[in-house]
Amino acid sequence: MTTPAETHATAENGTWTRVCRHADLTAERGVAALVGRHQVAVFLTFDGGLYALGNRDPYSGAHVMSRGIVGTRNGEPCVASPMHKQVFSLVTGACVDDPAVVVPTYPIRVNDETVEVSVA
């Protein structure tokens, strides 16, 4: 499924893509964005943190991660897949209960009130 190169992609290797205005995001919910052929799930957490993960739920194969419930596990921001509720870290992309299963994470930033992600 995922490869290290995808998981640890950095902005230096790619270019920033504008995804939406920051104001379009709702705290503790995600949106899906199409960046090239990649589907990216973008999340805004309660404390203002921004995270980008692959939108594909590795357990079901459906592109639905952006529709999961955002919360915390032991203080770490997480999202639960809406399909079968596996919980993934927004920071590392790793499944909390099964760390061998990882979804890609992408660099994300706010530039002039616009949210940008970088997909290598």
Partner 1 sequence: MTSRPETGTRVVVVGFGPAAHRLIENLARRGFPGRITVFGEEPRPAYDRVALTSYLQGRSAEDLTCPVPDGVTLRLGRRVAGIDRVNRTVVTDAGQAEPYDVLVLATGSAPFVPPVPGRDLPGCFVYRTIDDLDAIREAAGRAGSGVVVGGGLLGLEAADALRGLGLGTHIVEMGDRLMPRQVDEGGGAVLRGHVEALGLTVHTGTGVRAIEPGPDGRAARLVTSQGGAIEAGVVVFSAGIRPRDELARHCGLDVGERGGIVVDAGMRTSDEHVYAVGECALAGGIVYGLAGPCFTQAEVAADRIMGGTASFEGADVSTRLKLLGVEVAQFGAMSGALDVTYLDPVAGVYKKLFVSDDAMTLLGGICVGDATPYDTLLPFVGKALPGSPSDLLFPGAGATIEVPDDAQVCSCNNVSKGRVRTAVAEAGLTDVQGVKDCTRAGTTCGSCVPMLRRILAESGVDVGRGLCEHFALSRAELFEIVLVRGITTFSRLVAEHGTGRGCDVCKPVVASILASLGNGHILDGEQAALQDTNDHFLANIQKNGTYSVVPRVPGGEITPDKLIVIGEVARDFGLYTKITGGQRIDLLGARVEQLPAVWARLVAAGFESGHAYGKALRTVKSCVGSTWCRYGVQDSAGLAVALELRYRGLRSPHKLKAAVSGCARECAEARSKDFGIIATERGWNLYVGGNGGFTPRHADLLVADLPADELVRVIDRFLMFYVRTADRLQRTSAWIEGLEGGLDHLRAVVLDDSLGICADLEAQMERHVASYVDEWRAAIEDPDKLRRFVSFVNAPGTPDPSIVFETERDQIRPVPVVLEGVRV
Catalog residues that contact partner 1 under the rule CB under 8 A: 1, 18-20, 24, 26-29, 31-35, 39, 42, 45-46, 56, 58-64, 67-75, 77-78, 80, 82-83, 85, 87, 98, 100-101
For residue 69, the minimal CB distance to partner 1 (Å) is: 4
Look at the block and give the residue holding tokens 């995922």: 2
- C-alpha to C-alpha distance for 4 and 54, rounded to whole angstroms: 13
Q: Tokens at residue 16, please?
A: 């920033």
CA 48 – CA 28 distance, rounded (Å): 9
Residue with smaller CB distance to partner 1, 100 or 112: 100
Min dist CB 72 to partner 1, Å, is 4
Q: Is 96 left (phi over 0), alpha (psi -120 to 50) or beta?
A: alpha
Q: Report, in Å, the least distance between residue 19 CB and partner 1.
A: 5
